[in-house]
Chain A
Amino acid sequence: MIRQVNVLLDISGLTKNFGGLIAVDHLSMSVGEGQIVGLIGPNGAGKTTVFNLITGVIRPSSGKVEFDGKNVTGKSPHFLASSGIGRTFQLTPLFTDFTTLENVVASYYLHPRSGFWDSLFNTPTYRRNEAYALEQSLKILDLVGLGKVKDERAKNLPHGYQKMLGIARALAVQPRLLMLDEPLGGMNTDEISFTMDIMAKVRSLGMTILVIEHNMQILDLCDHVVAINFGQKIGEGSVEEIRNNPDVIKAYLGEQNVA
């Protein structure tokens, strides 16, 4: 299905070569504004590497990444964050010594941006910015259901809560593109449906989502799916098309049953 969508993120020929091991092999895909795009594939397919290439954590060996029409290939992670990309991490999603609330408030670094001297002298601008950050942080925490634990140390939170906090943090960046790295990992059924509700809600607020996931349940939410294995694209299309794609099914055989 071809919809006229504004392309927000465009990747062409993205390749990463780790001294002989080709982790990502000439991957091309795009994410349209307002879509939820799923990047699926078995373990070790290279999904997180793709994320890291897009968000500037590692440099691509070749290829191009364009965000909102601008070339952002190889730029640093904080540059991409200020361009409007927010991301979560699979394994260490938080500032462990901060409380839940502090985690989100700290993430309100970019918008609004207080200068060094404003912060030092506690100017009205600074105070206004901080009040805004606090207010918004509380709203986000309520949105993701973490309101009750806002004063808990992040490292004491149970796993599911930590993942939600990671999403809350990424939302604080007020991104146009939200990149989620295995958000459903290690969650039980209730947590999974809760997370997927959040994602739908976020999309209805105008955000675009690119999600890496192992768990096939995510397909229910996606508008468009890209499947990769061994760093290469093995399938792309709507959810129906992917579900019936023989290459995708083969890739997952031995891993888990396609839902």
Chain B
Amino acid sequence: MQTESLKKRRRNITIAILCVITGLLFALPLLGLSVYFMHTLIGVFIWIIVANSLRLLGLSGQGSIGHAAFMAIGAYTSAILAKFLGWSPWITMPIGVLVTVIVGFLVAVPFTRVRGIYFTMVSLFFGIGVLAINQVFNKWTGGYSGIISIPRLFAYVKNPYYYFCLALMVVCLLIMYRLEHSRIGLTWKAVAQSYSVASSIGINEAWQRILCLGVSCTFAAIAGVAYAHYYVILTQETFSFNTSINVFVYMTVGGAGLFAGPIAGTAVLLIIPEMLRDLREYVPFVYAAILLIVLFLMPQGLAGLPAQLWQLIRRPAKAKLTTSDDKAGKRAP
């Protein structure tokens, strides 16, 4: 029974720390945060939403490297409606999300028929496919050079965007956390571990995977529309295959096994290169160095570092640099 109250205390401490951090983030502009850093942080907030949505999808055993496509659908829909029909972004943004969710559920039906690495390949080509379709309709989407001068959410001041994106991120994270730790998430994790066992207890595993994809792309779309009406420029490069892979890297480097993983990965991989931007063309070396350090030294990713260090302190002899989940010689599925 002692462990129960210990667990509760740790939970309350964690919640308290999170509240303090969130409060700090909200207070930063008042404490004199420069416009430049605000711009960086807004980007971090938006990409954290996407990275965590990718992790959410991964709960059901589906790994996607084309997730930026869902951002693109939402972003372009909202941007086109706002720019060419003159509607307010506050109306076009929900529409953009809705359209993406519908598309998401529609493509999920054939896509979830395949699993594992095949699903990942499908996601790759879905991502490229959406871009290619974008090119086909370049009369409206601007093709390669994209859309510019998308109507803004607020005026030309940074602060409202900062608060908006921060609040958006907090809400999205809370919802995703809740999903993961409820029976919904439990069911998805069950499906990921064994389709046959999940079916035998009455779970419609195909539908659950479709549902997971649909929910995940909702968050991607939310991030996408926020992106469109803040950065006000969308090009072919914005939501390219590189973008999808980057988000995947943020999640993996941060630690795909932990909820905080994508948050840590996105923050570190977006902020550090920004801080070192004086190195100009050498910045990618730093980025690659971070990737390599995490790959070889931190099996659970950045977010797993505290736990890893704790293990090292407590049992230095037993601490290994590889996870105990290695199956020697087994081919990747």
Q: Is the CB of A78 within 8 A of B204?
A: yes
Q: Does B322 contact A (CB under 8 A)?
A: no
Q: Is the CB of B200 within 8 A of A55?
A: yes
Q: Scan A97-120; emit 1 where CB is below 8 A from any B CB, else 0.
A: 110001001110110001010011
Q: Is the CB of B184 within 8 A of A94?
A: no
Name the contact of A89 in the complex, choosing from B189, B196, B204, B205 (C-beta under 8 A). B196
The chain B residue with its CB closest to the CB of A77 is B199
Name the contact of A170 in the complex, choosing from B182, B200, B204 (C-beta under 8 A). B200
A28 to chain B, nearest CB (A): 24
| Complex-state Cα separation, A119 to B200, whole angstroms | 22
Extra pairs beyond A94-B197, A96-B194, A120-B178 (6, CB < 8 Å) = A55-B200, A96-B193, A98-B190, A110-B201, A120-B175, A126-B183
Q: Point out the residues of chain A lying under 8 angstroms from B175, CB to CB.
A: 120
A119 to chain B, nearest CB (A): 4
Q: Is the CB of B178 within 8 A of A169?
A: no
Give chain A's interface residue range (CB within 8 Å of chain B): 35 or more
Name the contact of B190 in the complex, choosing from A76, A81, A106, A122 (C-beta under 8 A). A106
Q: Is the CB of A87 within 8 A of B194?
A: no
B63 to chain A, nearest CB (A): 16
Instruction: Tell me whether A106 and B194 are in contact in the complex, defined as CB-CB below 8 angstroms, given that A81-B199, A122-B182 are known contacts.
Output: no
Q: Does A50 contact B (CB under 8 A)?
A: no
Q: Point out the residues of chain A lying under 8 angstroms from B201, CB to CB.
A: 78, 81, 86, 106-107, 109-110, 169-170, 172-173
Q: Point out the residues of chain B lying under 8 angstroms from A55, CB to CB.
A: 200
Binding site for B on A (CB under 8 A): 55-57, 76-78, 81-82, 86-87, 89, 92-98, 102, 105-107, 109-110, 114, 116, 119-120, 122, 126, 130, 169-170, 172-173
Q: Does B260 contact A (CB under 8 A)?
A: no
Instruction: Tell me whether A120 and B182 are in contact in the complex, defined as CB-CB below 8 angstroms, given that A95-B193, A95-B194, A109-B187 are known contacts.
Output: yes
Q: Is the CB of A95 within 8 A of B200?
A: no
Q: Point out the residues of chain A lying under 8 angstroms from B196, CB to CB.
A: 57, 77, 89, 92
Q: Is the CB of A89 within 8 A of B200?
A: yes
Q: Point out the residues of chain B lying under 8 angstroms from A94, CB to CB.
A: 194, 197
Give the one of A102, A116, A169, A173 with max B CB within 10 A.
Answer: A116
Q: Point out the residues of chain B lying under 8 angstroms from A96, CB to CB.
A: 193-194
Q: Is the CB of B184 within 8 A of A116?
A: yes
| Complex-state Cα separation, A198 to B196, whole angstroms | 24
Q: Point out the residues of chain A lying under 8 angstroms from B202, CB to CB.
A: 78, 81-82, 109-110, 173
Q: Point out the residues of chain A lying under 8 angstroms from B211, CB to CB.
A: 116
Q: Does B98 contact A (CB under 8 A)?
A: no
Q: Point out the residues of chain B lying under 8 angstroms from A97, CB to CB.
A: 189, 193
Instruction: Tell me whether A102 and B186 are in contact in the complex, defined as CB-CB below 8 angstroms, given that A77-B199, A122-B178 are known contacts.
Output: yes
Give the one of A78, A96, A102, A107 with max B CB within 10 A.
Answer: A78
Q: Point out the residues of chain B lying under 8 angstroms from A122, CB to CB.
A: 178, 182
Q: Point out the residues of chain B lying under 8 angstroms from A173, CB to CB.
A: 200-202
B2 to chain A, nearest CB (A): 14
Q: Does B203 contact A (CB under 8 A)?
A: yes
Q: Does B38 contact A (CB under 8 A)?
A: no
Q: Can you spell out 22 A-B residue pairs with CB atoms less than 8 angstroms apart?
A: A57-B199, A76-B199, A77-B196, A77-B199, A78-B199, A78-B201, A81-B199, A82-B202, A92-B194, A94-B197, A95-B190, A98-B190, A98-B193, A106-B190, A109-B203, A116-B184, A120-B175, A120-B179, A122-B182, A130-B183, A170-B201, A172-B201
A78 to chain B, nearest CB (A): 5
Q: Point out the residues of chain B lying under 8 angstroms from A86, CB to CB.
A: 200-201
| Complex-state Cα separation, A24 to B162, whole angstroms | 66
Instruction: Tell me whether A78 and B205 are in contact in the complex, defined as CB-CB below 8 angstroms, given that A97-B189, A114-B183 are known contacts.
Output: yes
Q: Is the CB of A169 within 8 A of B197?
A: yes
| Complex-state Cα separation, A56 to B200, whole angstroms | 9
Q: Is the CB of A119 within 8 A of B197?
A: no
Name the contact of A120 in the complex, choosing from B184, B194, B199 (C-beta under 8 A). B184
Q: Point out the residues of chain B lying under 8 angstroms from A110, CB to CB.
A: 201-202
B301 to chain A, nearest CB (A): 17
| Complex-state Cα separation, A102 to B190, whole angstroms | 10
Name the contact of B187 in the complex, choosing from A56, A76, A106, A120 (C-beta under 8 A). A106
Q: Point out the residues of chain A lying under 8 angstroms from B190, CB to CB.
A: 95, 98, 106, 109
The chain A residue with its CB closest to the CB of B183 is A119
| Complex-state Cα separation, A106 to B183, whole angstroms | 8
The chain B residue with its CB closest to the CB of A154 is B193
Q: Point out the residues of chain A lying under 8 angstroms from B189, CB to CB.
A: 95, 97-98, 106
Q: Point out the residues of chain B lying under 8 angstroms from A172, CB to CB.
A: 201
| Complex-state Cα separation, A227 to B112, whole angstroms | 40
A150 to chain B, nearest CB (A): 13
| Complex-state Cα separation, A116 to B179, whole angstroms | 9
| Complex-state Cα separation, A239 to B214, whole angstroms | 53
| Complex-state Cα separation, A91 to B187, whole angstroms | 21
| Complex-state Cα separation, A126 to B183, whole angstroms | 9
Q: Is the CB of A95 within 8 A of B178?
A: no
